[in-house]
Structure 1
Amino acid sequence: MDSDARQAGDEAAAAPGEPAAPLATLDADRSDPEYRSWLKEAVRRVQADANRSADTHLLKFPLPEEWGIDLYLKDESTHPTGSLKHRLARSLFLYGLCNGWVRPGRPVIEASSGSTAVSEAYFAKLIGVPFVAVMPRTTSPEKIRLIEFHGGRCHFVDDPRTMYEESAALAARTGGHYMDQFTYAERATDWRGNNNIAESVYQQLRRERYPEPAWVVATAGTGGTSATIARYVHYMQYDTRICVPDPENSCFFDGWTRDDPDATSDRGSRIEGIGRPRMEPSFLPGAIDRMMKVPDAASVAAVRALDTAIGRKAGGSTGTGLWSALRIVAEMLAAGERGSVVTLFCDPGDRYLDKYYSDGWLAEQGLDIGPYARELDAFLTTGVWPGA
């Protein structure tokens, strides 16, 4: 659906999608017993989703045993909505509900390039409130289909940099709540534990030969995941270091290296879900140890190499992280170090068959993955990164 902001909100309110067992639509004072009953039931439903969800798998990327280095991918694609953003959406809904921001019968609005919106549409339907995703027109058709499948509505913008203002305006016009993942991602998740992604990784590594990873590699869209992992590592007094890879057309790397909170990019990222045109409030530069700038063609080469290695297609953000993780493995190998490295399998590649797995799309974008594919092949064959 492509419409003006008011129309998007009105249509969303009229057709929110039916929850499993409809909750009452109320517009009541916060002290009203009916509102409190609605709130308790909404929180219960969101928490019950977590109880029904088994922990996600920790996949092992095949490396020669004699290297003495293990590489893992935390497979977040197995969540009910198919991505890492399921954790974030659950946390954001609990945060918004418990703060009294998400109200019965009123739409939830989000600025999102796709996966967060898919997951938030799922939770909105779960508690019976309308949902509208404000997103770039270039968002993959599969993500749009999934948002609509979960009862959400899509409101498109031509310039990704306008998503924030458009979302806030839409919320104001409809009386809804702008979820604002880019501000609240780092604070909605309990980084001290409570089965967050970091605690899960360390629990799953307990019986591995290197239970405390040397590095965790986490790409950044909001920055919430890297903030959660870094805070947990510091809180638990681990020696693990955190690396955040950044794609082209994103300002995070420049802002981090220059210590510039006002850094910007004049265009949107081609790697959906990560990279931003501004330094987001949830991105915490001081919590992480290292950043890498990764060419988009390298990210695509990496996801295709992953498919060859383990028979699984992943989205481009997984490729950005995997490329950086393999570069770190190469550095450790060259230095004679042993240990483990963890990165994220963010979402499935079937959402991007018309992009990262399409040679036609690569040609349209002017991306040549050949040199990067050869680098990866040479490293995985010889243990030496070309040119290193």
Structure 2
Amino acid sequence: MKQTAHWVRNAISLLDADANRSADTHLHRFELPKSWGIELYLKDESVHPTGSLKHRLARSLILYGLVNGKIVEGTTLVEASSGSTAVSEAYFARMLGLEFIAVVPKSTSTEKIELIEFYGGHCHLVDEAGQVNQAARNLAAERNGYYLDQFTFAERATDWRGNNNIAESVFAQMSAERYPIPSWIVVGAGTGGTSATFGRFVRYKQHDTQVAIADPEGSSFYEGWRTGNMDYATGKGSRIEGIGRPTVEPSFVPGVIDHMIQVPDAGSLAAMRLLRAKTRYYAGGSTGTNLYAAFEIIAGMLARGEKGSIVTLICDSGERYANTYYNDAWLEAQGLDLAPHTAALEKFLAEGVWVPAAK
């Protein structure tokens, strides 16, 4: 028993040391016309050691398993993931000397699978996104391991009251800005953990900030939130990796969400590419989803004569999608035409008018 307790204490120390070595992520300004009186900020989570927002989640999930007595020396860690969470979990598993298996859909980008394996993880491929959860449970049971289960535990593994969570970080970095309390926080939902953290934090701190979720095509979250039916399921995976789910996941907390926007996949990827063209920030598709929704919210603020600030996230690096989202041949094979959406986004930036392209 003493030996186990010693190993767990050492494991937690290793996680704490990793957090101390990582400086906080940058908060970039996206230039908008000064006459608008609106500021847009991008929290760059791609600079984490494992290159995505999921670095925070992976550390929290593993810490949660350690302090609850679920992870001990020799435990095999298993996760159901479309990629980025598994990349980060593989990194931490290797740090702790634990075996890690990621259950991923076959559609996951080659770049992400290679990253999981680079950090010492193993990939177990399934045909459809809807199969990952049960396959992960089965693997954990077969190996007497621990299923990290991001879709259940994301909303409770992070201490939303403090402990340098992403919400606390954003508000600290905004303190010297023209509008230090954001009017809106705009995030995507893969597990729902990030939106839950922001939503709980702003209520706990009594901030006058609204939280919006940008949801991609094929995802169940939007209709689940709109109808209040948490059993709603599209049964479809999302082409925008890392966000959107075929079913409403347990970590999705609708009561802390003020608004949701459905974003067409072509709009997400047009916004992702526009970000690259305007700023040189090389981001993935989920960042484009966030930016598209942020523009729509800003347009609404302009129409109502409101001023203020909006914060959204750069979720991961575009390097992971060089062969997909940034590949014109892949777009053509998917039947995605970005041109109408790019024109609509450019019109918005020039005139402040939101006229989305036809779906």
TM-score, with normalisation over the residues of structure 2? 0.98
Alignment of 1:105-116 (within 5 A): 105-116=74-85
Map of 1:219 onto structure 2: 188
Map of 1:147 onto structure 2: 116
Map of 1:96 onto structure 2: 65
Alignment of 1:169-248 (within 5 A): 169-248=138-217
Instruction: State the distance in 2 between where 1:354 and 1:381 align.
Output: 31
Whether 1:310 aligns to 2:279 is yes
Moved more, 211-220 or 376-385: 376-385
Contact 2:235 2:247 survives alignment (8 Å): no
Q: Which amino acid aligns with 1:220?
A: A
Q: Provide the secondary structure at the position in 2 that maps to 1:244.
A: strand
Instruction: State the distance in 1 between where 2:167 and 2:183 align.
Output: 14
Map of 2:354 onto structure 1: 385
Contact 1:314 1:349 survives alignment (8 Å): yes
Contact 1:113 1:135 survives alignment (8 Å): yes
Please state how far the C-alpha of 1:34 moved relative to its aligned partner.
1.0
Q: Which of 61, 64, 72 lines up with 2:30 in the alignment?
A: 61
Instruction: State the distance in 1 between where 2:193 and 2:94 align.
Output: 24
Structure ID, larger Rg: 1
Q: Provide the secondary structure at the position in 2 that maps to 1:218.
A: strand
Map of 1:328 onto structure 2: 297
Q: Provide the secondary structure at the position in 2 that maps to 1:155.
A: strand
Contact 2:344 2:356 survives alignment (8 Å): no
Instruction: State the distance in 2 between where 1:237 and 1:366 align.
Output: 45
Q: Which amino acid aligns with 1:163?
A: V
Please state how far the C-alpha of 1:354 moved relative to its aligned partner.
1.1
After the TM superposition, which parts of structure 1 deviate over 3 Å for at least 4 consecutive aligned residues? none
Post-superposition Cα deviations, 1:145-178, rounded to whole Å, max 9, x if no partner, equal: 1111100000000011111110000000011100
Instruction: State the distance in 1 between where 2:355 and 2:258 align.
Output: 25
Please state how far the C-alpha of 1:103 moved relative to its aligned partner.
2.0
Instruction: State the distance in 2 between where 1:233 and 1:223 align.
Output: 16
Give the CA RMSD over aligned residues.
1.0
Map of 1:78 onto structure 2: 47
Q: Which amino acid aligns with 2:270?
A: A
Whether 1:338 aligns to 2:294 is no
Instruction: State the distance in 2 between where 1:186 and 1:363 align.
Output: 37
Whether 1:52 aligns to 2:12 is no
Contact 1:111 1:164 survives alignment (8 Å): yes
Aligned length: 357
Post-superposition Cα deviations, 1:190-224, rounded to whole Å, max 9, x if no partner, equal: 00111110010000001000000000001000000
Instruction: State the distance in 2 between where 1:283 and 1:159 align.
Output: 21
Instruction: State the distance in 2 between where 1:292 and 1:378 align.
Output: 20
Q: Which of 277, 283, 298 lines up with 2:252 in the alignment?
A: 283
Whether 1:375 aligns to 2:344 is yes
Q: Which of 273, 276, 293 lines up with 2:262 in the alignment?
A: 293
Q: Which amino acid aligns with 1:179?
A: L
Please state how far the C-alpha of 1:386 moved relative to its aligned partner.
2.8
Please state how far the C-alpha of 1:330 moved relative to its aligned partner.
1.0
Contact 2:43 2:170 survives alignment (8 Å): yes
Post-superposition Cα deviations, 1:51-76, rounded to whole Å, max 9, x if no partner, equal: 11100000111111111100001000
Query: Relative to structure 1, is the Cα distance of residues 189 and 374 closer, same or farther in structure 2, using a 3 angstrom cutoff?
Result: same
Q: Provide the secondary structure at the position in 1 that maps to 2:93.
A: helix
Q: Which amino acid aligns with 1:354?
A: N
Q: Which amino acid aligns with 1:167?
A: A
Instruction: State the distance in 2 between where 1:258 and 1:385 align.
Output: 26
What stretches of structure 2 of length at least 5 have no aligned partner? none
Q: Which amino acid aligns with 2:282?
A: K
Instruction: State the distance in 2 between where 1:212 and 1:106 align.
Output: 43
Q: Which amino acid aligns with 1:331?
A: G
Please state how far the C-alpha of 1:274 moved relative to its aligned partner.
0.2
Contact 1:121 1:131 survives alignment (8 Å): yes
Contact 1:62 1:309 survives alignment (8 Å): no
Please state how far the C-alpha of 1:387 moved relative to its aligned partner.
6.8
Q: Percent identity?
A: 59
Map of 1:4 onto structure 2: none
Instruction: State the distance in 2 between where 1:160 and 1:348 align.
Output: 22
Query: Relative to structure 1, is the Cα distance of residues 387 and 189 closer, same or farther in structure 2, using a 3 angstrom cutoff?
Result: closer
